Every structure is written in C-alpha cells, then in structure tokens.
A and B are shown apart, each in its own frame.
Chain A
Amino acid sequence: MADASSAPELSPTQVAILTAYCELIEEVGTDDVSFRLIALRAGVGERTVFRYYPTRVDLLLATSAWIERTIFTRQESDSIFDVPIAIHEAMEAYDRRPELAHVVAETAMRGVNGSEPAPHRDRFDALLRAEVPSLSEPERRLLVAALCHLDSSATWVTMRREVGMHGRDIADAARWAAESQLDPIRAAS
C-alpha cells in the first residue's frame, strides 16, 4: 500500500506500455530501447506510445513510478521501529531485479526534473511525531532525512557498486544502519 492515493489511474494501454518497457529494460538496458520496440512489445502503435509519453524522460519517469508501485511494493510500517525490517526486505527485492533498482535510483537523482527523492518522508515524520513526541523538530528532520536516504534503491546501488558488497551483506548493512539511527531514541519512545 505504498502511496496508493497519489497513484494516477492508468489505462490498460498505459499498463501494457510500461510493462513492455520494464521487460525491455531488464533485457537490453534503458538506452537501447526504441519507442518502436516498446510499441511492438506492448502491441500498440508507436504513435500511441508518443501520445501518452511525448518524450523519453516522460516515459522513464512514469516507468520508474510504476516500478515502485508494482514491483518494489512494501507493507507500510506501522511503527518507525519497523522501518529497518522494511529496508532489509526492500534491499532483497532490489537484489532480485537489479536493472529496475538502477532505474528507480537514477530517476530520483535528476533534481527537479526527476521523481520524488524521498517518498516516505511524510510517513516517517508522522510516525515519529506519534511515537517519539519528545523529539525536537530539528532532530526529527535529520532522522527522517537519514531514514529516507537509507530506504531507497540508491542504498543497494551504492553498496553494490561503490563498496563492492553483495546480496545479504547489503540487506544486513542497510538494516544495521537504520537501526543505528533509531537506537538513541528507543528509550524515549
């Protein structure tokens, strides 16, 4: 139930296009996929793809949002102290679909022209207000920022690419890092 409220209603044609693009990304990467190939795979005309997604960036952002909603879905945490477990599970999911994890990570790094870089911000903030009311506003802001950063596919990408870690080690380290952020406020909750 990840932000279902903000999800746009998609037509079956759009779903077909986004599904086709996802498949092709996993087969050949994001760069070498032409609109013609996507149209062919989706069983629609190339003009239909352009009508819904006039540019490659439009298509990529829609696809990235679609991937987050349908493939990297997760149970919303009921407590801020469940977030490390959710992060662990998310890392395992990214590990199963690496190409899609990269797409989601990259589109979030495009600044104002990209996707939402901290989708769980409001949720984390609300949980902290309810569970740890003694936390000051600046403290809460820094903690929400750290947790949002850890709860993203970029964690998986960085630990794999930049640090050279794999699979379980990444899930373990990401969960550990989130726990370490929460440890000091456990007593206050």
Chain B
Amino acid sequence: MVEKPVDTEAAILESAVALLRERTFEDITYLDLAEAAAVSERTIYRRFPTRSHLLEALARWIESQQFPLPQIRTPEEFRAAVRERFRAYERAPGCAFVAARGASLSPTMESAPTPLARAVFAMLTTAAPTLNSRDTQRIAATAQYFASPIFWARMRTGFDMNADETFEAFDRAMSRAMAIVPQVSWAS
C-alpha cells in the first residue's frame, strides 16, 4: 500500500474537473494532469495505475463535490433533488458524462451502495413501512437507476431531451413503479 495523503488526490481530481471544462476525458493526459496539479506524472500513476482507476475516482469525486445530494426524507424531497440534479448535469455536461461513464465501469475497488441508493432505500422504508422487502428493493433499484447520471446521459444523447424533459421521463417512470404502493403519494 502506498501512503495516500488525501489532498494530493483531491488536487489531481480538482485539476481534472477544471480540464473537463475545455476538453473530454479522453483528451486529458496524465502529463496535463501532473502540470495542472503541480505534482509529478509518477505521482498520478501511483494514485491511478490505469485510466479506469482515474475515471472511477473522478466520477465519484464529481458526484460528491459538483452534484452534492441534499437530505432526502420524503418522495417530494427525492423528486425535487432529482430535478435539481438533472439541471445541474445540464449546466456541466462534461462532468455529468464522466459521472455516467465512471458509474458504468467495472469497479476497481470494493463497491458499496452509493449515498443516493442508501437515501432512496431509507426514504422508501419510511414512506412505506408495510411494503414487503422484495418490492421495496425493486422500487429502490428502479428509483436509483432512473435518478442516475446514466439516465440523464441516455436521455440527452438518445432522445435529445433537456433536463426538464428528462425529469418528466423520470417522474413518469417513478409514478408507475410507485403505483403498487397506493398509500404513498408519489406526486402531490
């Protein structure tokens, strides 16, 4: 294990985010990153042995720093948060595509449920405590998948949808999935 001062990694990832405003992830070399972060190229290779490592860490960094998640306790809060996320993705599409790509990669480290997945699951168990565990898992998985940057990216490139249209597609899909818990209102 190499020692891993967090700020070096943060500096590298921050530089990558800055470079993403002008070019795609493909066009950012380790040398560019080293120059922008004022570290040696070797340091970057030590932290991120392959570009997959870099992309995965960058996606996670972007999600937590650029698109932080607000408190989600109710379906209303979840809907509002997703609408805001899609709008934020639209304002920074370069970052959002990297988030979508990073979330699609074969994980290089042990992956646990993400903060969004956990929040959605907790929201659902609070809103519908009598729902059986299988249906809870199905709805939570559906919610997570339709709230993801992957959904935003697919709607944008495959369907030419803007953020609000993407939210509408999310909202429609979720209201159908939530139809099995009629006691919980999805959209008031």
B is bound to A:
yes
Question: Which of B51, B107, B173 touches A181 (beta carbons < 8 Å)?
Answer: B173
Docked-complex contact A145 and B155, CB < 8 angstroms:
yes
Provide the B142-158 mask, 1 if CB < 8 A to any CB of A, else 0. 10111010110111111
Among A114, A118, A164, A180, point to the contact of B177 (Cβ < 8 A). Answer: A180
B154 touches A117 (CB 8 A): yes
Cα(A158)–Cα(B117), bound, Å: 10
Contacting residues, chain B, for A148 (C-beta < 8 A)? 154, 158
**Interface check B126, CB cutoff 8 A:** no
Interface residue? B32 (CB, 8 A): no
B86 at the binding interface (Cβ < 8 Å) = no
Give the interface segment out of B3-11, B34-42, B95-103.
B95-103
A31 to B52, CA, bound (A): 7
Kindly state the separation between the CA atoms of A166 and B148 in the bound complex, as whole angstroms.
19
- Which bucket holds chain B's interface residue count? 35 or more
With A110-B101, A173-B137 known as contacts, the answer to whether A158 contacts B24 (CB < 8 A) is no
- Complex: how many Å from CA A14 to CA B76? 52
**Chain A residue with minimal CB distance to B146?**
A149
Contact with A along B105-116 (1 / 0, CB 8 A): 111000111101
Given contacts A30-B52, A109-B104, A118-B158, contact A158 B150 (CB under 8 A): yes
B50 at the binding interface (Cβ < 8 Å): yes
In the complex, the answer to whether A149 meets B24 with C-beta atoms within 8 Å is no
Whether A162 lies near B113 (C-beta < 8 A) is yes
Complex CA gap A110/B93 in Å reads 11
- With A110-B101, A111-B97, A163-B140 in contact, do A31 and B50 touch (Cβ < 8 Å)? yes
CB contact between B116 and one of A57, A109, A162, A176 (< 8 Å): that residue: A162
- For B94, give the chain A residue with the smallest CB separation: A111
B114 touches A162 (CB 8 A): yes
A172–B179 CB distance below 8 A = no
Contact string, A100-132, partner B, CB cutoff 8 A, digits 1/0?
Answer: 001001101111111011100100000000000
Is B22 interfacial (CB-CB < 8 Å)? Answer: no
Which chain A residues border B106 with CB–CB below 8 Å?
29-30, 98-99, 102
| Interface flag for A141 (CB, 8 Å) | yes
Assess whether B122 is interfacial by the CB under 8 Å rule. Answer: no
Q: A162 to B153, Cβ gap below 8 A?
A: no
Against B, the Cβ 8 Å flags (1 = close, 0 = not) of A53-78 are 00001000000000000000000000
Shortest CB distance A146–B (Å): 4
Q: Is B77 an interface residue (CB 8 A)?
A: no
A114 x B144 contact (CB < 8 A) = no
**One of A109, A118, A149 near B101 (C-beta < 8 A):** A109
Known: A111-B156, A176-B142. 7 other contacts (CB 8 A): A31-B52, A111-B157, A158-B145, A162-B148, A164-B111, A173-B138, A180-B180
Interface residues of B (CB under 8 A from A): 24, 26, 50-52, 93, 97, 100-101, 103-107, 111-114, 116-117, 134, 137-138, 140-142, 144-146, 148, 150-151, 153-159, 161, 168-169, 172-173, 176-177, 179-180
Q: Would you mind naming 6 contact pairs between A and B with Cβ atoms under 8 Å apart?
A: A57-B26, A106-B101, A111-B153, A116-B158, A154-B145, A173-B138
Interface residues of A (CB under 8 A from B): 29-32, 57, 98-99, 102, 105-106, 108-114, 116-118, 121, 141-143, 145-146, 148-150, 152, 154-155, 157-159, 161-165, 169-170, 172-173, 176-177, 180-181, 183-184
